[in-house]
């Protein structure tokens, strides 16, 4: 058996129908999902991560300023350890450092990245470091949307949006595990109103692919993992050239083999596939595939990369697919898991 943990938004302000953080048991033979638990601890459990030993799970709570820790029990269910208020509104991403002693959190309306102490019992400790992303005036911010590691977990990539008052950008920080501090190594401004959202790192640690929400594009960067610097090389649209409607690009993902970049498009309700040139990192658009639902806010692979899942927030579904990286195609398995307002899935 394996387990899936699904964060589901819960508040009326988000037009949500979810009831909390769900645990599913997955039959590894049949692939069937069975709901084991739904925890209603705090509002909007909207992004989760494990510690490096996969003994504990951590969840941010969207639109407020809280982060929770859970112990993973023998049967796969969760037991709350503690919840802390980090002070930054709307945390949207959380990840442990390679030493397993810190948790890094991105806060959207908080306009900052936080470094939190992670205690040996799995509980969340105090804030030890904070980096503010300033806006165009003293009382404005840039909106931090993610904090994700390079493959060596030495550098942290942080995309941020301007939303008129701030600056669309991507920053890179060297992480210092001695004290949990961050040292900036690179800052690149995005095109005005592009609004960077999520970035994904190639397994070779030399290529990075950032999806931009508002201009519906994918930016390719070369990455120097010695200096911690990015160099932009290419921008491609995430929507078909025959589509003239609205779009909101959402997530970026590199398949485990390093052959394909997957991007998700809300409103257009699709996945875009790009082929990666293994010698140069440049992208070539393969095609577009429907997500069979509404608002694909989150996409992920199962741990072994055999299956691709889309969390369709506004159709209350998780859709299971198979990506054939060699052919550059998607096959729908026919399995659709019904769950209310899903916005994150992680597997154990």
Question: For residue 227, is it within any domain?
Answer: yes
Decide if pLDDT at 303 tops 90.
Answer: no
Using DSSP's 3-state secondary structure scheme, residue 314 falls into helix
Residue 316 lies in a domain: yes
CATH number where 238 lies: 2.130.10.10
Q: Is the pLDDT of residue 306 over 90?
A: no
Is 226 a domain residue? yes
Q: What is the pLDDT of residue 161?
A: 98
Contact residues for 34 (Cβ-Cβ < 8 A; gap 6+): 24, 25, 26, 27
Percent of the chain with pLDDT over 70: 100
Rounded to whole angstroms, the Cα distance separating 273 from 286 reads 5
Domain, as residue range, for 137:
100-347
Flag whether 252 is in a domain. Answer: yes
Q: Is residue 29 part of a domain?
A: no
Contact criterion met (CB below 8 Å) for 152 and 99: no
pLDDT of 122: 98
234-268 confidence digits (pLDDT tens): 999 999 999 999 999 999 999 999 999 999 999 99
pLDDT at 245: 97
The verdict on residue 49 lying in a domain is no
Sheet holding 283-290, edge to edge: 248-254, 260-266, 270-276, 283-290
Asked if the structure places residue 28 within a domain, the reply is: no
pLDDT at 304 over 90: no
Q: Quick check: is 5 in a domain?
A: no
**For residue 248, what are its two tokens?**
């909101």
* pLDDT at residue 112, rounded to an integer: 98
Do 143 and 162 form a contact (C-beta atoms < 8 A)?
yes
Our count of domains for the chain comes to 1
- pLDDT tens for each residue of 155-183: 999 999 999 999 999 999 999 999 999 99
Q: What is the mean pLDDT of residues 187-216?
A: 98
CB under 8 A, 24+ apart: contacts of 227-230: 227/185, 228/154, 228/155, 228/172, 228/173, 228/174, 228/185, 228/186, 229/172, 229/185, 229/186, 230/170, 230/172, 230/186, 230/188
């Amino acid at each position: 058996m394996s387990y899936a943990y699904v964060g589901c938004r819960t508040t009326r302000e988000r037009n949500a129908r979810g009831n909390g953080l769900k645990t599913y048991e997955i039959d590894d033979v049949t692939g069937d999902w069975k709901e084991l638990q739904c925890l209603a601890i705090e509002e909007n459990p909207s992004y989760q991560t494990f510690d490096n030993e996969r003994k504990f799970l951590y969840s941010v709570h969207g639109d407020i300023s809280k982060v929770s820790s859970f112990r993973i029990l023998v049967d796969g269910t969760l037991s709350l350890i503690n919840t802390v208020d980090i002070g930054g509104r709307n945390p949207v991403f959380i990840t442990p450092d390679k030493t397993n002693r810190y948790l890094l959190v991105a806060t959207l309306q908080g306009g900052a990245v936080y470094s939190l102490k992670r205690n040996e019992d799995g509980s969340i400790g105090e804030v030890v470091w904070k980096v503010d992303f300033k806006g165009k005036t003293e009382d404005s911010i840039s909106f931090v949307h993610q904090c994700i590691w390079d493959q060596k977990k030495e550098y942290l990539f942080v995309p941020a949006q301007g939303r008129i008052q701030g600056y669309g950008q991507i920053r890179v920080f060297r992480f210092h595990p001695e004290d949990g501090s961050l040292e900036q190594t690179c800052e690149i401004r995005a095109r005005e109103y592009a609004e960077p959202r999520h970035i994904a790192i190639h397994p070779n640690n030399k290529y990075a692919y950032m999806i931009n929400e508002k201009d519906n594009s994918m930016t390719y960067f070369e990455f120097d993992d010695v200096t911690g610097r990015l160099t932009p090389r290419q921008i491609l649209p995430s929507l078909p050239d025959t589509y003239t409607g609205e779009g909101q690009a959402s997530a970026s993902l590199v398949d485990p083999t390093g052959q394909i970049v997957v991007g998700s498009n809300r409103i257009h309700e699709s996945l875009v596939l790009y082929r990666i040139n293994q010698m140069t990192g440049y992208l070539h658009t393969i095609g577009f595939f429907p997500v069979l639902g509404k608002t694909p806010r989150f996409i992920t692979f199962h741990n072994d990369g055999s299956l691709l899942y889309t969390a369709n927030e506004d159709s209350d579904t998780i859709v299971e697919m198979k990506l054939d990286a060699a052919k550059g195609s998607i096959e729908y398995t026919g399995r659709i898991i019904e769950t209310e307002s899903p916005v994150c899935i992680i597997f154990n």
